[in-house]
Structure 1
Amino acid sequence: MEIIRIILPLVIVGGIVTFVILRLKHKYEKGTLGKKKTKSAQHVLDSLIPFGMLFGCSIGVILSMFFRISSSSAISVGAGGGFLLGYIAYELYSKMDTEH
């Protein structure tokens, strides 16, 4: 049972990271990776995934303080979840039109 508690966060985060990287690689090869017209909008787009990871890590730290979860497991799963949420935000923001 202890091995499952150690390996499960690694498997979850590894699956998430593999999925996101393969999706980004596929978009890059097709030439459909998100591009914005203005430099500031491109900076926002490029920073969504790292900010998602930071947000996920902070949520993991907060959850590990209140629940009986290992800090390292909570931080790693939080970072993986934030990576996925950052990618989803990246996809949504890259499809939005910046001109009004």
Structure 2
Amino acid sequence: MESAIEILSIVWPIVLVGAISLFVILRLKGKQKRGTLGKKETKAAQDLLDSLIPLGMVFGSALGLVLSLIFPFAMSTGITFGAGFGLLGGYFAYEHSSRQEERNVQ
């Protein structure tokens, strides 16, 4: 029974972050097929918009690393959860920024 709990504690972060990744990838793929991906007028603004998701993952990983130093859970778990939630946060920031442009145009 103890080994099953250990296996679950190892696999759980991978499953959760995998589900988050699939959600983000499938949503972006659907937006690409519909042609509704966010577009900005200047190259600098477009580069900033395109870098929101990777920046979210970097900051999420850093936050997960810091939290794993403070709280009693494994560093690999903290980095994994941080990257997953950073990916989700970066995606929501991307959605918010691309919708803000659409509201200003109309």
TMscore range, shorter length: over 0.9
The structure number with the bigger radius of gyration is 2
Q: Is 1:14 aligned with 2:50?
A: no
Extract unaligned runs of 5+ from structure 2.
Answer: none
| Moved >3 Å (runs of 4+) | none
For the residue of structure 1 that corresponds to 2:51, the secondary structure is helix
Pairing of 1:18-97 with structure 2 (within 5 A): 18-97=22-101
CA distance in 2, matches of 1:40, 1:96: 16
Q: In the comparison of the two structures, how many residue pairs are matched?
A: 99
RMSD: 1.2
Q: TM-score, normalised by structure 1?
A: 0.95
Q: TM-score, normalised by structure 2?
A: 0.90
Deviations 1:5-41 (A, max 9, x none): 1000001100000000000000000000111111111
Judge which range, 31-40 or 81-90, deviates more: 31-40
Q: Identity over aligned residues, as a percent?
A: 54
Extract unaligned runs of 5+ from structure 1.
Answer: none
